[in-house]
Structure 1
Amino acid sequence: MPARALADFLDNNGVNYHCYNHAPAVTASEVAQSAHIPGRHMAKTVIVDVDGKLAMAVLPANQYLDPEKLRQALRANRVELASEDDFKDCFPLCEPGGEPPFGNLYNMNVYVDDTLLSEDWLAFNAGTHTEVIKMGMGDFLRLSQAQACAFAMLH
């Protein structure tokens, strides 16, 4: 069962979504493979520190985050990957690394890479390392209040 707050949030907003169980996997690429989801549709959430404030960067599982590109896109002074110690208490009821890409549930801004916007649906961790949620891109953008910009780079 996905994190209760996430399921309630999606249900209360009338979102059509599907939850899938898969073999335990930690990295977004492993999750995509285990859940039989193309890497371009599997969104990974990377927690970043943007000028001292935690935020979520959401990008395809088959790409890497380029902090410098995100810094430039946001016109920020500093963007760096947050350490797990920085955010370990921010996601109650979620396994570390299983955070869903809805920063608004956790008082964080969400930035989504432009390359995801070309897809009509995406999948993401549902708070655990054994469940993913698949939903339409339009619903994701509306509910996550994500700001689109370019910050991903290919492997």
Structure 2
Amino acid sequence: MTISARLEHHLSDLGLHYSMIPHPYAATAAEVAEAAHVPGDHLAKSVLIHMEEGPMLAVVPSNQQVDLTALQSLMQKRLGLAPETEMKEVFNDCDLGAAPPVGEAYDVPTIVDDSLSGLDKIWFEGGDHTTLIEMRGRDFDKMMKDAEHGSFCCLH
């Protein structure tokens, strides 16, 4: 049960309280929600977006997907999903597919879907496929206060 060093340092710097929740190995966000017994709409997942200026992190509930058309319209930029190689490069202290939704810890601009704001509790990947971070929704909102916010997800 571990979390990425950069994430741990970032949370410590912000003074936010969190818990590490172990769960059986799960590769996809839907499997994580099921394995950890958490609601999919309260599990934040990271989607790395590729733009000409560099990567950007889009954060949506695990039971949703990024609507690239809506996000492109919101950002007024051409964008697409980042390749795995870029994901490995940006989140080099995390297992592939287990990146935390905290772009600030990785110097990556972040946009958070509005549906993740104002929740009572929220969970997210901590850098491996067997540990979730659990925190109060208001602490997550505080951590994401400098991120952009908008509505850009849809059911998949």
Give the TM-score normalised by structure 1.
0.92
Q: Is the 8 A contact 1:68 1:79 kept in 2?
A: no
User: 5+ residue gaps in structure 1?
Assistant: none
Alignment of 1:120-139 (within 5 A): 120-139=120-139
Q: Is the 8 A contact 2:48 2:55 kept in 1?
A: yes
Alignment of 1:9-88 (within 5 A): 9-76=10-77, 78-88=78-88
Q: Percent identity?
A: 36
**CA displacement 1:5-63 (0-9 Å, x = unmatched):** 21222123221111101000111111011001000001110000133420111000111
C-alpha distance in structure 2 between counterparts of 1:9 and 1:108, whole Å: 13
Q: CA RMSD in A?
A: 1.4
C-alpha distance in structure 2 between counterparts of 1:70 and 1:16, whole Å: 31
C-alpha distance in structure 1 between counterparts of 2:93 and 2:52, whole Å: 27
Q: Write out the 4+ residue segments of structure 1 that deviate beyond 3 Å after TM superposition.
A: none
C-alpha distance in structure 2 between counterparts of 1:4 and 1:85, whole Å: 20
SS in 1 for 2:41: coil
Query: Deviation at 1:87?
Result: 2.7
SS in 2 for 1:89: helix
Alignment length (residue pairs): 154
Letter in 1 for 2:70: K
Give the TM-score normalised by structure 2.
0.92
1:101 paired to 2:136? no
